[in-house]
Copies of this chain bind each other. A is one copy, B any other.
Amino acid sequence: MSIAEYMKKVGQQARVASATAARATTLKKNNALLYTAELLDQNRITLTSENNRDLERGQANGLTDAMLDRLTLTPKRIDSMIEGLHQVAALADPIGTISGMSYRPSGIQVGKMTVPLGVIGIIYESRPNVTIEAASLCLKSGNATILRGGSEAIHSNQALASYIRQGLIKAELSEHVIQVVETTDREAVGHLITMPEYVDVIVPRGGKGLIERISRDARVPVIKHLDGICHTYIDAAADMDKAIRIAVNAKTQRYGVCNTMETLLVHEAIARTVLPALADKYAQFDVELRGCDKTAEIIQCKAAQEEDWSTEYLAPILSIRVVEDMEQAIEHINHYGSHHTDVIVTENYTLAREFLAAVDSSSVMVNASSRFADGFEYGLGAEIGISTDKIHARGPVGLEGLTSQKFIVFGDGHIRQ
């Protein structure tokens, strides 16, 4: 069978299975999740040895330490996959929720019912735990799923796939509800993202290169974000303690994630107070500072270049710009930012409201660290990714983002006049 034929078969199987997934009871879906958790627990040794095969090949192929780390299924990571399955089983089932049923003057009663999207394609890189995370969210939201992991994790992913398959079958669901693509050929991705007849949406998880390629070539909608160039704007009316606490946390709490601050904007009226205090703190964390001309007059820093303003460092580096007022900060954010998460620190009521309205990002915050932009922190219970698009889901995407709705109408023989 050619790769094209194989992917078509996988797609057709998913499309057929999606009808059964959509109608599966909450109990069956939860059972499949809990059975999979049990199987993971019972097969720790096999799973670890399959993971070791990937790791050995990865070392031989010269993967970086960071990549090998992401690839490793430590006992703790297996624990958290099991815990994650239990958490998703405990979440409320969004499917079939009926809301807003109200009577119209014609006498019909109209509202909305939450329904699955259908078939979701997940394309991801080295972390094999994504297999379990993504599969569990897609199943709970009544979708069929096609998972396409990186070739470096193929043995780990196939092992995980077999536990999922057994879990589905034991819960009396079709094994095609969750399929893990068996080929490591990159051609498979090309087919997966161009089969709108079988796939309703693609969620890519991985580096910017992967996501750019997928977005460019996809013929299916993609839920994604490319960059996380998050800003903190410290206003003239900021509380100094809050400003420093937030600006330090937003940069240093974790460096390699998308909701970390990459650019700090400071109102010129308080730059001479706040920047020296912050520079001391950042020095303790060895954060490299790259400032505009005005910043360089106040603290020691490298000179920021134009490209710094649109760079996601994912590293202990911070660009700093002194702005004349909030409007300039907003212009900077909407121009250079990635519409991910942006923060104002201010005690001024009017400016806070204007900032909330004017900043065109998927999360906008007042007096809180951008690091909170996360499905768990927002109370979504889980997160399959963060979207910076405006169509469909925006911001952290939990179960709700994996659903659609349909209108339902109750009548009693009503006809249109």
Contacts and interface: CB of A to CB of B under 8 A. Distances in A.
B246 A406 contact: no
B392 A391 contact: yes
A364 B115 CA distance: 12
Contact of A413 (B239, B334, B410): B239
A416 interface: yes
A62 interface: no
Interface stretch (A29-37, A278-286, A373-381): A373-381
A60 interface: no
A104 interface: yes
Classify chain A's interface size.
Answer: 35 or more
A131 to B, nearest CB: 24
Contacts of A368: 108, 409-415
Interface string A354-368: 001110111111111
A361 B412 contact: no
Interface in A96-126: 96, 102, 104, 106, 108, 110, 113, 115, 117-118
A242 B413 CA distance: 5
Given A108-B372, A406-B362, A200 B391 contact: yes
Given A404-B391, A405-B394, A372 B414 contact: yes
Interface string A372-402: 1100011100000000001110111000000
Contact of A407 (B357, B362, B411, B415): B362
A241 interface: yes
B406 A253 contact: no
A409 B366 contact: yes
Contact of A408 (B110, B360, B364, B379): B364
Nearest to A219: B216
Contact of A200 (B200, B371, B390, B415): B390
A115 B339 CA distance: 13
A22 interface: yes
Given A201-B391, A413-B245, A363 B408 contact: yes
Contact of A366 (B366, B377, B392, B410): B410
12 contacts: A23-B358, A117-B390, A118-B360, A201-B390, A201-B391, A245-B415, A250-B415, A356-B408, A367-B413, A368-B413, A369-B414, A394-B407
